[in-house]
Structure 1
Amino acid sequence: MQTYFHVFIKECRLNAGFSKIKSARLLNVSERSLSDYESGKTAVDDALAVKMAQIYNCPAIIYCWTQDNACGRLWLSKLDDKCLSQNILCNFSSIETMQNEFLPKLIRIGQDNKIDEQERNIFIKIKEHGLKPLMKSTIALLFSKNKKSRPAKASQL
């Protein structure tokens, strides 16, 4: 069963400004089914995840859905909950670090088309401190959430 995805899709629906009734109609599911998806009682399938991402205008749904299955948990890192401008700055910083600190070393390692024993530790450092952060920041930028501020609930005032 999916671990946190159900909470995320409910938040995406609310951020999009849709009621359960409207969302259920647009997704072509019953309100009961939507409630079951949002409570985690029923797992969302591929097609519905894609449809939710399109209707809610939130491509992060696809990433989070993928992240919430066995393959995704193994290979994909959790994305930070940042807005678009923060993701742009993080990505720019990762690109700059990769370009200035690691790219010259990576080029030297790759010149002979193999990684020898002397280069192995350097390559591991480049992967961990250059390539992985760059990939994470790029994916975060690609899947930036479309967040809207919602008015505070009366209980929060």
Structure 2
Amino acid sequence: MNKDFAKMCYFARLETGLSVKNASSLLNICERQLNYYESGQKNIPDDIVAKMTKVYVNPELGYEYLRQTKTGKELALPAINMKGISSRTLQLRVCVKNVIDVLSKLDIIACDDVIDQKEVNDFLDCMKQIQLLSGACVGIRLFRQIKKIRTDGNSTDFLDNINLNF
């Protein structure tokens, strides 16, 4: 894995309000090991990433981890916007518009079931827009409300009772 993913794990832990001590306890690893992972000094094993995804309530970690693996690269998993829901929604709208704009070009290319040499660049442009739309859709799907803990200890996360498993 890379340092960017390690940093993502670090920030995911901070967003949940967990200390290194608490997180390492929940992940069943020692504090030093978590520090190594978060600093990018050691690769994070699959099972620890899976635990982080659950403990930090952050499905984006698991997705980004898979996206960076050899299998994820072979699947051409799209990058996702890691910002807030408003940014992700705007990105989705822009991507939908861009795909609509290239659909007529794609229709012309595909109508004969052949992509000839002079159509390749236009086809690749269409595929790029579709890939960006795919990433925007995944970004919306993987969004999670960051839990804010009130002074009385209760979560203010309105998504707690909503089942998002489609």
What residue number does 1:20 align with?
Answer: 20
Paired with 1:16 and 1:103, the residues of 2 have a C-alpha distance of 42
What residue number does 1:139 align with?
Answer: 138
Per-residue CA deviations over 1:58-80 (Å, capped at 9, x if unaligned) read 11112332344456578456544
RMSD of aligned alpha carbons? 2.6
Please identify which structure carries the higher helix content.
1
Does the C-alpha gap of structure 1 residues 37 and 116 become closer, same or farther in structure 2, counting only changes over 3 Å?
same
Q: Which 4+ stretches in 1 moved above 6 angstroms?
A: none
Identity within the alignment, %: 27
Q: Is the 8 A contact 1:83 1:145 kept in 2?
A: no
Structure 2, unmatched stretches of 5+, are 149-166
What residue number does 1:152 align with?
Answer: none
Structure 1, unmatched stretches of 5+, are 150-157
What residue number does 2:56 align with?
Answer: 56
Does the C-alpha gap of structure 1 residues 85 and 20 become closer, same or farther in structure 2, counting only changes over 3 Å?
same
Q: Is the 8 A contact 2:6 2:39 kept in 1?
A: yes
Q: Report 1 or 2 for greater relative contact order, CA contacts < 8 Å, sequence distance ≥ 6.
A: 1
Does the C-alpha gap of structure 1 residues 86 and 110 become closer, same or farther in structure 2, counting only changes over 3 Å?
same
Q: Is the 8 A contact 2:53 2:62 kept in 1?
A: yes
The count of corresponding residues between Structure 1 and Structure 2 is: 147
What residue number does 1:93 align with?
Answer: 94
Paired with 1:93 and 1:58, the residues of 2 have a C-alpha distance of 25
Paired with 2:5 and 2:144, the residues of 1 have a C-alpha distance of 14
How big is the shift at 1:31?
1.7
Paired with 1:120 and 1:73, the residues of 2 have a C-alpha distance of 22
| AA at the equivalent of 1:41 | Q
Q: Is the 8 A contact 1:4 1:68 kept in 2?
A: no
